[in-house]
A and B are shown apart, each in its own frame.
Chain A
Amino acid sequence: MIKSSVRSLYRIYCRATQPALAPVQNLQRVIQLCAMSSGGTVEAAIKSKIESSLNPSYLHIINESYMHNVPKGSETHFKVVVVSEAFNDLPLIKRHRLVNATLSEELGSGVHALSIVAKTPSQWSESSQEIESSPACRGGFGK
């Protein structure tokens, strides 16, 4: 399905821009557009900040905003799964504080909920690597 939507997007895009751009460039642009639509700017910021400060061996960011009482496409509720050597010998609360500190800017400006899974590489490889979904919203946001 994704492939076909990329293809149709590509066709539309080609029609609009031909012959200004070479087809290869078009395809690259379409891929870029698709990548942008799958994750927003806040998600991208979260990703780059965690990557640069915690050097994770595994990172998964889930935008859970759709589960909440916020407009479609919002970037307010996130879950992050971070596997990093930086968590070695740190108790859970300090690991969470580390992630919170890394994302303090986002948490102070619109990210309203952040659920954290913070594991060391060895804990991660021993775990089931299944992530439980966050509890259902109960309508408290912004009220």
Chain B
Amino acid sequence: MFSALRLVRSVRPETIKYCARVFSAEAVGSKEYFDKLVANSKVVVFMKGTPDAPRCGFSNAVVQILRMHGVEYDAHNVLANEDVRQGIKEYSEWPTIPQVFMSGEFVGGCDILLQMHQNGELIEELQKVGITSALLEAEKSKGDEK
């Protein structure tokens, strides 16, 4: 699991570009290109920087929330590719970064994810795409102990 996580984290935009060339004919930044990216994993995040080194407080907040829930995800650093940075905004019709996708659907940015985390909705949404939040598991095991 951890090696898979590391692999995701180590994906660099050059690799993304390379993958795009190898596996598809879609131009980087096109709708088809993003269709594939967001469908590649249950949770996909477009952010500034990488999960290990976020370059924006809002992106960092998203990383921290997903970490709390123990979610594995694809992360794409928009600062490394201007076509991705602009393209994703048009694709989702959302003007700011970060952006979170679940099962290919746009979920929201930092504010929305934070609110979903606070009101418990995030656990439900993760469950809908087949991910059990680590927070829910921790809660369950606490219950078992009692």
A interface list, Cβ under 8 A from B: 92-93, 96-97, 100, 104, 107-108, 113-117, 134-141, 143
Interface set, chain B 75-113, CB cutoff 8 A to A: 79, 93-96, 106-112
Q: Is the CB of A143 within 8 A of B55?
A: yes
* Interface SS majority for chain B: mixed
Q: Is the CB of B112 within 8 A of A93?
A: yes
Q: Which of A108, A115, A136 contacts B111 (CB 8 A)?
A: A115
Number of interchain pairs (Cβ within 8 Å): 59
Instruction: Chain B residues near A117: list those with CB within 8 A.
Output: 111
Categorize the interface residue count of chain B: 20 to 34
Instruction: Chain A residues near B95: list those with CB within 8 A.
Output: 100, 104, 107-108, 114
B49 touches A (CB below 8 Å): yes
Bound CA–CA A140/B55 (angstroms): 4
Query: Among B79, B112, B116, which residue has the most Cβ atoms of chain A within 10 A?
Result: B112
Closest Cβ neighbor of A139 among chain B residues: B55
B54 touches A (CB below 8 Å): yes
Question: 5 shortest A-B CB distances, which residue pairs?
Answer: A140-B55, A135-B57, A140-B56, A140-B48, A107-B95
